[in-house]
Amino acid sequence: MRLRRQIVQQLVLAGLACFCGWSAPDEALPKAEEILDKFAEVTGGKAAYESVHNEKLTGNFEFLGKGIKGTVTMLRAEPNKALTSVDLEGVGKLEDGTDGKTAWQNSSMQGPRVKEGEERAAALREATLRAPLYWRKLYKHVETAGQEKVGDQECYKVVLTPEEGKPETQYYDKKTGLLVKMNMVMASPMGEIPTETILGDYQEQNGLREPRRVQQKAAGLDFLITLDRVEYNVDIPANKFDVPADVKAVAPK
Protein backbone atom coordinates (compact mmCIF):
# COMPACT_ATOMS: atom_id res chain seq x y z
CA MET A 1 0.00 0.00 0.00
CA ARG A 2 2.83 2.34 0.91
CA LEU A 3 4.55 1.61 -2.40
CA ARG A 4 1.32 2.36 -4.25
CA ARG A 5 1.00 5.71 -2.42
CA GLN A 6 4.58 6.55 -3.35
CA ILE A 7 3.87 5.79 -6.99
CA VAL A 8 0.71 7.93 -6.90
CA GLN A 9 2.61 10.77 -5.23
CA GLN A 10 5.38 10.56 -7.84
CA LEU A 11 2.81 10.66 -10.62
CA VAL A 12 1.08 13.67 -9.06
CA LEU A 13 4.38 15.49 -8.57
CA ALA A 14 5.40 14.65 -12.12
CA GLY A 15 2.07 15.97 -13.37
CA LEU A 16 2.46 19.18 -11.34
CA ALA A 17 5.95 19.66 -12.72
CA CYS A 18 4.72 19.24 -16.27
CA PHE A 19 1.80 21.59 -15.68
CA CYS A 20 3.91 24.29 -14.04
CA GLY A 21 6.47 24.16 -16.83
CA TRP A 22 3.83 24.11 -19.54
CA SER A 23 2.88 27.21 -21.47
CA ALA A 24 0.42 27.71 -24.28
CA PRO A 25 2.01 27.35 -27.70
CA ASP A 26 2.69 30.55 -29.62
CA GLU A 27 -0.05 31.66 -31.97
CA ALA A 28 0.59 30.21 -35.40
CA LEU A 29 1.54 32.98 -37.78
CA PRO A 30 -0.18 33.07 -41.16
CA LYS A 31 2.01 32.80 -44.23
CA ALA A 32 3.09 36.05 -45.82
CA GLU A 33 1.33 35.00 -49.01
CA GLU A 34 -1.98 34.79 -47.13
CA ILE A 35 -1.49 38.24 -45.55
CA LEU A 36 -0.65 39.91 -48.87
CA ASP A 37 -3.52 38.22 -50.70
CA LYS A 38 -5.92 39.24 -47.93
CA PHE A 39 -4.82 42.86 -48.32
CA ALA A 40 -5.65 42.74 -52.03
CA GLU A 41 -9.06 41.32 -51.16
CA VAL A 42 -10.02 43.74 -48.36
CA THR A 43 -9.00 46.74 -50.48
CA GLY A 44 -11.25 45.77 -53.36
CA GLY A 45 -10.45 42.39 -54.84
CA LYS A 46 -9.26 41.25 -58.25
CA ALA A 47 -12.23 42.47 -60.30
CA ALA A 48 -12.14 45.98 -58.81
CA TYR A 49 -8.38 46.33 -59.33
CA GLU A 50 -8.56 45.09 -62.90
CA SER A 51 -11.30 47.60 -63.73
CA VAL A 52 -8.86 50.45 -63.06
CA HIS A 53 -6.53 51.54 -65.87
CA ASN A 54 -5.27 54.78 -64.37
CA GLU A 55 -5.73 56.95 -61.29
CA LYS A 56 -5.43 60.57 -60.22
CA LEU A 57 -4.93 61.56 -56.58
CA THR A 58 -4.90 65.16 -55.39
CA GLY A 59 -4.40 66.67 -51.96
CA ASN A 60 -2.16 68.63 -49.63
CA PHE A 61 1.52 68.24 -48.79
CA GLU A 62 3.11 69.54 -45.59
CA PHE A 63 6.56 69.40 -44.02
CA LEU A 64 5.58 68.98 -40.38
CA GLY A 65 7.23 71.44 -38.02
CA LYS A 66 8.73 73.48 -40.86
CA GLY A 67 5.77 75.65 -41.81
CA ILE A 68 6.09 74.57 -45.44
CA LYS A 69 2.88 73.57 -47.20
CA GLY A 70 1.67 72.97 -50.70
CA THR A 71 -0.35 70.75 -53.01
CA VAL A 72 0.31 67.34 -54.49
CA THR A 73 -1.00 65.57 -57.59
CA MET A 74 -0.21 61.91 -58.27
CA LEU A 75 -0.95 60.15 -61.55
CA ARG A 76 -0.47 56.46 -62.33
CA ALA A 77 -1.34 54.43 -65.40
CA GLU A 78 -0.93 50.81 -66.40
CA PRO A 79 1.37 49.05 -66.32
CA ASN A 80 3.90 51.17 -64.39
CA LYS A 81 3.79 54.80 -65.45
CA ALA A 82 3.69 57.52 -62.81
CA LEU A 83 4.00 61.26 -62.30
CA THR A 84 3.99 63.04 -58.94
CA SER A 85 4.00 66.81 -58.76
CA VAL A 86 4.47 68.69 -55.46
CA ASP A 87 4.10 72.48 -55.51
CA LEU A 88 5.39 74.06 -52.28
CA GLU A 89 4.65 77.64 -51.27
CA GLY A 90 7.79 79.77 -51.37
CA VAL A 91 9.94 76.83 -52.46
CA GLY A 92 8.86 75.73 -55.91
CA LYS A 93 7.92 72.53 -57.69
CA LEU A 94 9.22 68.99 -57.36
CA GLU A 95 8.35 66.40 -60.01
CA ASP A 96 9.06 62.70 -59.89
CA GLY A 97 8.04 60.25 -62.60
CA THR A 98 8.60 57.33 -64.92
CA ASP A 99 7.45 56.32 -68.38
CA GLY A 100 7.80 52.68 -67.35
CA LYS A 101 11.48 52.52 -68.28
CA THR A 102 13.25 55.73 -67.31
CA ALA A 103 12.75 56.97 -63.75
CA TRP A 104 13.58 60.60 -63.08
CA GLN A 105 13.27 63.57 -60.73
CA ASN A 106 13.24 67.31 -61.38
CA SER A 107 13.05 70.16 -58.88
CA SER A 108 13.37 73.92 -58.91
CA MET A 109 16.13 73.59 -56.30
CA GLN A 110 18.30 70.75 -57.62
CA GLY A 111 17.39 70.48 -61.27
CA PRO A 112 16.78 67.33 -63.33
CA ARG A 113 18.34 63.92 -62.82
CA VAL A 114 17.81 60.30 -63.87
CA LYS A 115 17.45 57.52 -61.31
CA GLU A 116 19.59 54.42 -61.72
CA GLY A 117 20.20 51.07 -60.04
CA GLU A 118 18.24 50.29 -56.89
CA GLU A 119 16.64 53.75 -56.88
CA ARG A 120 15.24 53.16 -60.37
CA ALA A 121 14.03 49.66 -59.46
CA ALA A 122 12.17 51.01 -56.41
CA ALA A 123 10.55 53.77 -58.48
CA LEU A 124 9.25 51.24 -61.02
CA ARG A 125 7.82 49.03 -58.24
CA GLU A 126 6.05 51.98 -56.65
CA ALA A 127 4.64 53.04 -60.02
CA THR A 128 3.05 49.64 -60.68
CA LEU A 129 -0.70 49.97 -61.00
CA ARG A 130 -2.58 47.15 -59.22
CA ALA A 131 0.57 46.34 -57.21
CA PRO A 132 -1.44 44.52 -54.48
CA LEU A 133 -2.45 41.95 -57.12
CA TYR A 134 1.01 41.66 -58.65
CA TRP A 135 3.22 41.39 -55.58
CA ARG A 136 4.49 38.00 -56.77
CA LYS A 137 6.03 39.70 -59.81
CA LEU A 138 7.56 42.49 -57.75
CA TYR A 139 9.19 40.43 -54.97
CA LYS A 140 11.24 37.25 -55.15
CA HIS A 141 10.68 36.28 -51.51
CA VAL A 142 8.22 37.15 -48.74
CA GLU A 143 7.99 35.92 -45.16
CA THR A 144 6.06 36.61 -41.98
CA ALA A 145 8.63 37.82 -39.44
CA GLY A 146 6.40 38.06 -36.37
CA GLN A 147 3.88 40.32 -34.70
CA GLU A 148 4.31 43.92 -33.59
CA LYS A 149 2.16 46.81 -32.46
CA VAL A 150 1.80 49.95 -34.57
CA GLY A 151 0.20 52.43 -32.21
CA ASP A 152 -2.66 50.48 -30.68
CA GLN A 153 -2.97 48.11 -33.65
CA GLU A 154 -1.74 44.51 -33.42
CA CYS A 155 0.00 43.79 -36.70
CA TYR A 156 1.65 41.03 -38.65
CA LYS A 157 5.18 41.95 -39.73
CA VAL A 158 6.01 40.90 -43.30
CA VAL A 159 9.44 41.17 -44.94
CA LEU A 160 9.45 41.44 -48.74
CA THR A 161 12.65 41.04 -50.77
CA PRO A 162 12.63 42.49 -54.30
CA GLU A 163 14.68 41.26 -57.24
CA GLU A 164 16.80 44.39 -56.90
CA GLY A 165 17.18 46.45 -53.75
CA LYS A 166 16.97 46.08 -49.98
CA PRO A 167 14.20 44.11 -48.20
CA GLU A 168 11.11 46.08 -47.20
CA THR A 169 9.13 45.54 -43.99
CA GLN A 170 5.38 45.98 -44.01
CA TYR A 171 2.90 45.86 -41.12
CA TYR A 172 -0.67 44.61 -41.63
CA ASP A 173 -3.44 45.10 -39.07
CA LYS A 174 -4.49 41.67 -37.75
CA LYS A 175 -8.16 42.66 -37.56
CA THR A 176 -8.67 44.57 -40.81
CA GLY A 177 -5.91 43.16 -43.00
CA LEU A 178 -4.94 46.71 -44.00
CA LEU A 179 -1.36 47.90 -44.47
CA VAL A 180 -0.60 50.47 -41.76
CA LYS A 181 3.18 50.92 -41.83
CA MET A 182 6.19 50.39 -44.08
CA ASN A 183 9.90 50.54 -43.33
CA MET A 184 12.49 50.52 -46.09
CA VAL A 185 15.94 51.78 -47.01
CA MET A 186 15.75 54.22 -49.90
CA ALA A 187 18.64 54.57 -52.32
CA SER A 188 19.46 58.19 -53.20
CA PRO A 189 22.33 60.39 -54.42
CA MET A 190 23.01 61.10 -50.73
CA GLY A 191 23.36 57.40 -49.95
CA GLU A 192 21.00 54.96 -48.29
CA ILE A 193 18.22 56.61 -46.27
CA PRO A 194 16.00 54.63 -43.84
CA THR A 195 12.36 55.64 -44.17
CA GLU A 196 9.20 55.00 -42.17
CA THR A 197 5.75 55.44 -43.71
CA ILE A 198 2.48 55.40 -41.75
CA LEU A 199 -0.77 54.91 -43.69
CA GLY A 200 -4.29 55.57 -42.42
CA ASP A 201 -7.80 56.87 -43.07
CA TYR A 202 -8.63 54.24 -45.69
CA GLN A 203 -11.67 55.23 -47.75
CA GLU A 204 -13.57 53.49 -50.51
CA GLN A 205 -13.91 54.91 -54.00
CA ASN A 206 -15.35 52.92 -56.92
CA GLY A 207 -14.93 49.66 -55.02
CA LEU A 208 -11.29 50.25 -54.04
CA ARG A 209 -9.97 51.32 -50.63
CA GLU A 210 -6.94 53.61 -50.52
CA PRO A 211 -5.27 55.42 -47.60
CA ARG A 212 -6.07 59.13 -47.60
CA ARG A 213 -3.41 59.97 -45.02
CA VAL A 214 0.29 59.14 -45.59
CA GLN A 215 3.03 60.30 -43.23
CA GLN A 216 6.70 59.63 -43.97
CA LYS A 217 9.84 60.21 -41.95
CA ALA A 218 13.23 60.22 -43.66
CA ALA A 219 16.59 61.93 -43.13
CA GLY A 220 15.30 63.99 -40.21
CA LEU A 221 12.30 65.26 -42.20
CA ASP A 222 8.67 64.49 -41.45
CA PHE A 223 6.07 65.14 -44.11
CA LEU A 224 2.35 64.49 -44.41
CA ILE A 225 0.20 63.90 -47.48
CA THR A 226 -3.56 64.27 -47.03
CA LEU A 227 -5.61 63.28 -50.07
CA ASP A 228 -8.95 64.95 -50.64
CA ARG A 229 -9.80 63.48 -54.04
CA VAL A 230 -9.23 60.10 -55.69
CA GLU A 231 -10.33 59.45 -59.28
CA TYR A 232 -10.05 56.38 -61.49
CA ASN A 233 -10.06 55.96 -65.28
CA VAL A 234 -9.73 59.67 -65.97
CA ASP A 235 -8.69 61.35 -69.21
CA ILE A 236 -4.88 61.58 -69.12
CA PRO A 237 -3.05 62.78 -72.27
CA ALA A 238 -0.99 60.02 -73.91
CA ASN A 239 2.23 62.03 -73.58
CA LYS A 240 1.72 62.96 -69.92
CA PHE A 241 4.27 60.40 -68.72
CA ASP A 242 6.91 61.19 -71.34
CA VAL A 243 10.36 61.99 -69.97
CA PRO A 244 10.77 65.81 -69.97
CA ALA A 245 13.27 67.33 -72.39
CA ASP A 246 15.51 68.76 -69.63
CA VAL A 247 15.71 65.30 -68.03
CA LYS A 248 16.60 63.72 -71.37
CA ALA A 249 19.38 66.27 -71.69
CA VAL A 250 21.13 64.94 -68.57
CA ALA A 251 20.37 61.25 -69.16
CA PRO A 252 23.36 58.94 -69.70
CA LYS A 253 23.98 58.32 -73.38
In this predicted structure, what is the pLDDT of residue 247? 96
Per domain, the residue ranges of the chain are: 28-250
The beta strand positions in 189-246, using DSSP E, are 191-205, 208-218, 221-232
Who's near 94: CB < 8 A, 6+ residues apart?
A: 85, 86, 88, 105, 106, 107, 108, 109
CA-based nearest residue to 104, from 90, 87, 85: 85
Q: What confidence tens digit (pLDDT) does each residue in 68-124 have? A: 999 999 999 999 999 999 999 988 999 999 999 999 999 988 899 999 999 999 999
Whole-prediction pTM? 0.87
Across 166-205, b (16+ Cβ under 10 Å) vs e yields ebbbbbbbeebbbbbbbbbbbbeeeeeeeeebbbeebeee
Q: Is the dihedral of CA 223, 76, 80, 98 positive or negative?
A: negative
CB 55 within 8 A of CB 231: yes
Strand partners, 214: 199, 225
CA-based nearest residue to 97, from 197, 240, 232: 240
At the topology level, CATH places domain 28-250 in: outer membrane lipoprotein receptor (LolB), chain A (2.50.20)
- Confidence category of residue 241, pLDDT binned at 50, 70, 90: very high
CB 168 within 8 A of CB 162: yes
Q: What confidence tens digit (pLDDT) does each residue in 173-205 have? A: 999 999 999 999 999 888 999 999 999 999 999
